[in-house]
Amino acid sequence: MEAFIRKMAPVAGLLVLAPFVGEYLLGNISVRELLALPFLVPMYGAGALLIREVVRRAGYGWPAVLLLGAAYGVVEAGLADQSLFNPAFEGHDFQSVTPVPALGISALNAMSFVTGHAVWSIALPIALVEHLTPARRRTPWLGPAGLVVTALAYMGGLWIIFKELHDSSGFLATPAQLTGAAVVAALLVVAAFLTRRPGARPAVRDGWVPGTWLVGAGGFVLSGAFVARPESWAGVWIGAALLALAAAVVSRLARSPQWTQGRHIALVGGVLLTYAWLGFVLTWLTRPDDPVRWWGNAGFALAAVALLTWCGRVQRRRDGCNAGETG
């Protein structure tokens, strides 16, 4: 039994962490709805687990994870909850800024939704759980049967969200919009498997690589600038520029021999903490007079800090073991 629990621990961790980061830490869902977490696990958790298993089995790297995460974001926002197309989704006016009438979307919010899911709902939870299980960081966690169950759970989770929101709002995107979202998601999946496997590109042998704390601070500032960009067409172009900059810088640094697992998790931690403060901002904008929501934000932020502290201890223990072996 102990061996089974140890084997399934990263699976359970990812199933829970994906919806926690994607919804609760962000502040989209209040602590009052904490019992709704199990209903989000099939879509968020199973989606992240499925992406992780497919990428690791195929031997691809983080570009594939992020592109599949973007496909996940298009499927969720375009096909499941349809927040991309619903002009009054959960009482918000998501299409009042940067509208694209021909597509029935807001360019700014489309970028935010898809990037948010790719980075925070999918990539960060995978990176955190893999860091906490270093011996199994690149190995499959599931067998064939587990993959099938995960895929079925994910599809069931999509249906649950679609049915609940359709029944409550009566909104349904047009056939053209649904088809377009499906095509874009499919193209992102294809693009994921056109990325190069780790080691396919030559390593960068020279150049400066920032230290661990500076990497974390850089991730925090860059991701913070992305989520705080203005709600205008200027914000769309700023967001695109920030994404391009992040992709270029991280791609270059990750190919350096000096890019360690410690720097990797520092980058993850800096980006994760952006959602911690953003949760307070969303409460201030939407429910400023709700003390329970404020306390929930604080609790979720402390949980994120505790998780990163745990990651730091794992890294220090690993560094100590490596130093001992070298000595």
Note the pLDDT of residue 322: 62
The answer to whether 48 and 157 are in contact (CB under 8 A) is: no
Cβ–Cβ < 8 Å for 19, 161: no
Partners of 100 in the β-ladder: 105
Helix (H) or strand (E) segment spanning residue 105: strand 105-106
Average pLDDT over residues 234-253: 96
Average pLDDT, stretch 152-157? 97
- pLDDT > 70? residue 265: yes
Pick the more confident residue, 82 or 169. 82
* Among 235, 241, 85, 88, residue whose Cα is nearest residue 173: 85
| Cβ-contact 53, 142 below 8 angstroms | yes
Per DSSP, the chain holds a count of helices (H) and strands (E) of: 12, 2
H or E, element range at 53:
helix 46-58
Q: Classify each residue of 246-280 as buried b or exposed e, where b means 16 or more C-beta atoms within 10 Å of its C-beta.
A: beeebeebbbbeebebbbbbbbbbbbbbbbbebbb
d(CA 261, CA 318): 10
At 17, is the pLDDT very low, low, confident or very high (cuts 50, 70, 90)? very high
Q: What are the tens digits of pLDDT across the range 89-134?
A: 877 788 889 999 999 999 999 999 999 999 999 999 999 999 999 9
Higher pLDDT, 165 or 184: 184
- Residue 139, classified by CB atoms within 10 Å of its CB into exposed (0-12), middle (13-18) or buried (19+), is exposed
- Please give the structure tokens belonging to residue 189: 């999946």
Angle among Cα 155, 84, 160 to the nearest 5 degrees reads 25
Phi-psi region of 96 (alpha: psi -120 to 50; beta: other; left: phi over 0): alpha
Mean pLDDT value of segment 228-243:
97
d(CA 266, CA 100): 37
Can you tell me which residue has the tokens 């499941």? 80
- Count Cβ atoms below 10 Å from residue 50 Cβ, excluding itself: 20
pLDDT on residue 318: 81
- Higher model confidence: residue 53 or residue 205? 53
| Start-end of H helices in 287-327 | 291-326
Confidence band for 325, pLDDT divided at 50, 70 and 90: low
Tokens of 315: 């890294």
Per-residue pLDDT tens over the stretch 178-228: 999 999 999 999 999 999 877 666 666 667 889 999 999 999 999 999 999
Q: Which string of DSSP letters, residue by residue, matches 72-98?
A: HHHHIIIIIS-TTT-TTGGG--TTSSS
pLDDT score for 93: 81
Average pLDDT over residues 248-276: 94
> What is the number of alpha carbons within 13 Å of residue 63 lying toward its C-beta?
22
d(CA 241, CA 39): 36
State what percent of residues in the chain have pLDDT above 70.
Answer: 94
User: Which of 23-37, 85-99, 171-185 is predicted least confidently?
Assistant: 85-99
Mean pLDDT across 70-89:
95
As a whole number of angstroms, the distance between CA 207 and CA 252 comes to: 10
Let me know how long the chain is.
Answer: 327
Locate 13 and state its tokens.
Answer: 């961790």
What average pLDDT is seen over the chain?
A: 93
- The Cα–Cα gap between 320 and 264 comes to 18
